[in-house]
Amino acid sequence: MAGVSRNFFSDCKTYDEMHHKYIQTRFLLRRMELGMEESAYEELTAQIADGEISLPALSAFLVYDTVDKKGMVKKLMDIYRNTGNTDKLNTLYIIYNEIKDQDLPVKYI
């Protein structure tokens, strides 16, 4: 179909596959957010760099599944900067400028 591209669940055939992909991606994003070693979420980094997870899908995860949105946007900016994807990097700059002055909704101790 014209104008239709892959989406986050394109490679999933069943609900269980969709659920597994969502949970796995959320889990790897959490590892990234909590500052674990890059090897703990390298699969996610590779999927982002290869375009297997779109920026709109990542944005939905940022909104609903992360606490430190600014920190995560910075980490995603690093991934796109390293891959040379300036379009997505510029989009993330816009997002970052919108949220940069917001406080965390919780305090880390």
d(CA 65, CA 58): 10
Given a cut of 70, whether residue 6 has pLDDT beyond it is: no
**Under a CB-based contact definition with an 8 Å cutoff, are residues 91 and 55 in contact?**
yes
Query: What confidence score (pLDDT) does residue 52 get?
Result: 86
Digit-coded pLDDT (tens) for 7-58: 788 888 999 999 999 999 999 999 999 999 999 999 999 999 888 888 999 9
- C-alpha gyration radius of the chain: 14
Look up the pTM and report it. 0.81
Nearest-10 crossing angle of helices 55-65, 86-99: 20
Query: What confidence score (pLDDT) does residue 11 get?
Result: 86
